């Protein structure tokens, strides 16, 4: 009989390296959705995930992938939990994750807005703060759509290199 | 429940990495792995009714937003409305799942969405109205997202930690739904003669449904502040109008709800045992 591994750090390392299904250049750790990995006294690995958006269709896939990789590494008992609170924010995307996004042509998010109360910020397209182009670095960019192929991204266009690009919007 | 997943068996033998795109399989419990204990002192009947009503508002709104797919004025707006619908669908799923845990029936989300009839739904009637034109779409979205945002702010302090967490997540989403709608109301109100006329007509159509919202959750002050700010910027009159008697929360519905549900539920009812 093979003894299951009892190394918590190894379990965390394995879970951290699972790629995000929609932004595969990021790991779950880069994205900030892997909240905790621990090993209980009876040898169960407990991994805790948090969803990015309420309607995120990738949650079950992340869960399955974390469980599958841990089991493949020999951990027999794996439990993946979900925490909804505190809600995920783009501020949890790590510096390494931000660099990786930019390297793949996706502009990383700025700081998340602090409050949702008070008047609606009625800035029509011109007054929005410019997002630098991830390809050429130009600040001559404009938003073409606040909504894109996935919940977390907006569509932008660069006026200097003329390339369209995606932008992970702050939340 | 098990961590085993139909997706894994589908993905077996495919080492290309493409299996990560096999979405839509085995996503049966949106509250999977969440601590679902109900704290002492929480009125579970009241909690279940709240979750159900807010879930119904979100589901019915999602269906209306989804109807814009292939019909929106521009591709960008179609993507926007579908994304907003996806957020609301996510909220509905979480709320239905919570309802099933606390109403004593143990039902799953599908039982609420697909196997209840119109008389058992409790959405506000504004959500039920047919889509009309794009101006009506953004007028309704502005009102409903502002109202729901105020309600969710309040619910972040709910004694039920699951509902509080669903609300905290929803607040972020509703904030940008409201902003999207507000910007369009301004753009259309302050646009051409035709867009102004249509935007004005849309707000007039929404007006009679406002009181029903404030009876369900009194956010009159917050919603009025948003509407004042946005209509002033748009050069439009504040939406008013004789309020309609009755309330969706009491089971009074427009004739449109049953038709909407007939379409939404048709596949699930034709194949009740199907999994996809």
ipTM value for the complex: 0.85
A96 Cα to chain B: minimum distance (Å): 22
> Could A147 and B83 be called an inter-chain contact, meaning their C-beta atoms sit closer than 8 Å?
yes
Cβ-based contacts of B183 with chain A (< 8 Å): 122, 124
pTM assigned to the model? 0.89
B70 Cα to chain A: minimum distance (Å): 15
Tell me whether A122 touches chain B (CB under 8 Å): yes
* Per-residue H/E/C for chain B: CCCCCHHHHHHCCCCCCHHHHCCCCCCCCCCCCCCCCCCCCCCHHHHHHHHHHHHHHHHHHHHHHHCCCCCCCCHHHHHHHHHHHHHHHHHHHHHHHHHHHHCCCCCCHHHHHHCCCHHHCCCCHHHHCCCCCHHHHHHHHHHHHHHHHHHHHHHCCCCCHHHHHHHHHHHHHHHHHHHHHHHHHHHHHCCCHHHHHHHHHHHHHHHHHHHHHHHHCCCHHHHHHHHHHHHHHHCCCCCCCCCCCCCHHHCCCCCHHHHHHHHHHHHHHHCCCCCC
Query: B172 to chain A: nearest residue by CA?
Result: A171
Tell me the domains of chain A and their CATH numbers.
Answer: 8-82 (3.30.300.130), 106-168 (no CATH)
Tell me the CATH number for domain B43-243+252-270. Answer: 1.20.1260.10
Q: How confident is the model at residue A55 (pLDDT cuts 50, 70, 90)?
A: confident
Q: How confident is the model at residue A3 (pLDDT cuts 50, 70, 90)?
A: low
Buried b (16+ CB within 10 A) or exposed e, A81-105: bbbbeebbbbebbeeebbebbbeee
Average pLDDT estimate for A42-53: 93
Tell me whether B24 touches chain A (CB under 8 Å): yes
CA-to-CA distance for B59 and B114, rounded, in angstroms?
11
pLDDT of residue A117: 64
CA-to-CA distance for B241 and B227, rounded, in angstroms?
14
Residues 214-273 of B with CB under 8 A from A: 225-226, 229-230, 233
Average pLDDT estimate for A98-123: 83
Lowest mean pLDDT among A35-44, A119-128, B202-211: A119-128
> Could B87 and A53 be called an inter-chain contact, meaning their C-beta atoms sit closer than 8 Å?
yes
Average pLDDT estimate for A34-45: 94
pLDDT of residue A58: 83
Tell me whether B208 touches chain A (CB under 8 Å): no
> Could B179 and A121 be called an inter-chain contact, meaning their C-beta atoms sit closer than 8 Å?
yes
Residue A118 has pLDDT above 90, yes or no: no
Tell me if A141 sits within 8 A of A82, measured CB to CB: no
Cβ-based contacts of B145 with chain A (< 8 Å): none
Cβ-based contacts of B176 with chain A (< 8 Å): 146, 169, 171
Which of A72, A84, A157 to mutate: most B Cβ within 10 Å?
A84
**Consecutive 10-residue runs of chain B (276 residues): their mean pLDDT?**
44 44 52 87 96 98 97 93 96 96 93 96 98 98 97 96 95 93 96 98 97 96 94 94 93 97 95 76
Query: A170 to chain B: nearest residue by CA?
Result: B172
Q: How confident is the model at residue A150 (pLDDT cuts 50, 70, 90)?
A: confident
Q: Select from A49, A67, A147 the Cβ nearest to the Cβ of B79.
A: A147
- In terms of Cα–Cα distance, which of B98, B110, B217 is closest to B165? B98
Average pLDDT estimate for A126-132: 69
Q: How confident is the model at residue A128 (pLDDT cuts 50, 70, 90)?
A: low
Q: Select from A21, A51, A145 the Cβ nearest to the Cβ of B76.
A: A145
> Could A63 and B33 be called an inter-chain contact, meaning their C-beta atoms sit closer than 8 Å?
yes
> Could B175 and A116 be called an inter-chain contact, meaning their C-beta atoms sit closer than 8 Å?
yes
Tell me whether B172 touches chain A (CB under 8 Å): yes
Domain ranges of chain B: 43-243+252-270
């Amino acid at each position: 009989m093979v003894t299951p591994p009892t190394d918590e750090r190894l379990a965390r390392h394995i879970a951290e390296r699972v790629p995000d299904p929609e932004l595969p250049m990021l790991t779950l750790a880069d994205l900030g959705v892997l909240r905790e990995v621990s090993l209980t006294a009876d040898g169960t690995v407990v991994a805790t995930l948090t969803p990015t958006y309420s309607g995120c269709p990738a949650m079950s896939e992340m869960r399955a992938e974390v469980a599958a990789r841990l089991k493949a590494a020999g951990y027999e008992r794996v439990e993946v939990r979900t925490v909804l609170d505190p809600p995920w924010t783009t501020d949890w995307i790590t510096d390494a994750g931000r660099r990786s996004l930019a390297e793949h042509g996706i502009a990383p998010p700025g700081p998340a807005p602090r409050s949702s109360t008070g008047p609606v910020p009625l800035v029509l397209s011109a007054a929005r703060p410019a997002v630098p182009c991830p390809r050429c670095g130009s600040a001559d960019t404009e938003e073409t759509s606040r909504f894109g192929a996935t919940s977390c991204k907006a569509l932008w266009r660069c006026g200097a290199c003329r390339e369209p690009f995606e932008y992970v919007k702050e939340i | 429940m098990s961590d085993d997943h139909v997706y894994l068996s589908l993905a077996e033998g495919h080492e290309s990495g493409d299996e990560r795109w096999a979405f839509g399989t085995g996503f049966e419990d949106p509250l999977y792995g969440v601590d679902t204990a109900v704290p002492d002192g929480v009125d579970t009947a009241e909690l279940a009714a709240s979750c159900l009503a807010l879930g119904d508002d979100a589901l019915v709104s999602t269906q209306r937003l989804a109807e814009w797919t292939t019909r929106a004025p521009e591709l960008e707006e179609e993507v926007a409305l579908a994304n907003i619908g996806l957020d609301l669908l996510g909220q509905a799923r979480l709320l239905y799942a919570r309802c099933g845990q606390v109403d004593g029936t143990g039902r799953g989300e599908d039982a609420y969405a697909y196997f209840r009839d119109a008389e058992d739904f409790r959405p506000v009637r504004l959500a039920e109205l047919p889509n009309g034109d794009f101006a009506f779409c953004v007028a309704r979205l502005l009102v409903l997202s502002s109202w729901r945002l105020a309600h969710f702010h309040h619910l972040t302090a709910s004694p039920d930690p699951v509902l509080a967490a669903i609300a905290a997540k929803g607040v972020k989403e509703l904030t940008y739904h409201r902003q999207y709608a507000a910007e369009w109301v301004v753009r259309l109100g302050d646009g051409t003669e035709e867009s102004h006329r249509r935007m004005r007509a849309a707000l007039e159509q929404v007006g009679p449904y406002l009181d029903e919202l404030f009876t369900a959750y009194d956010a009159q002050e917050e919603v009025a502040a948003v509407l004042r700010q946005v209509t002033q910027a748009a050069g439009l009159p504040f939406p008013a109008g004789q309020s309609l008697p009755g309330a969706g929360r009491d089971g009074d519905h427009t004739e449109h709800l049953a038709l909407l549900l007939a379409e939404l539920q048709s596949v699930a009812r034709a194949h009740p045992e199907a999994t996809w």
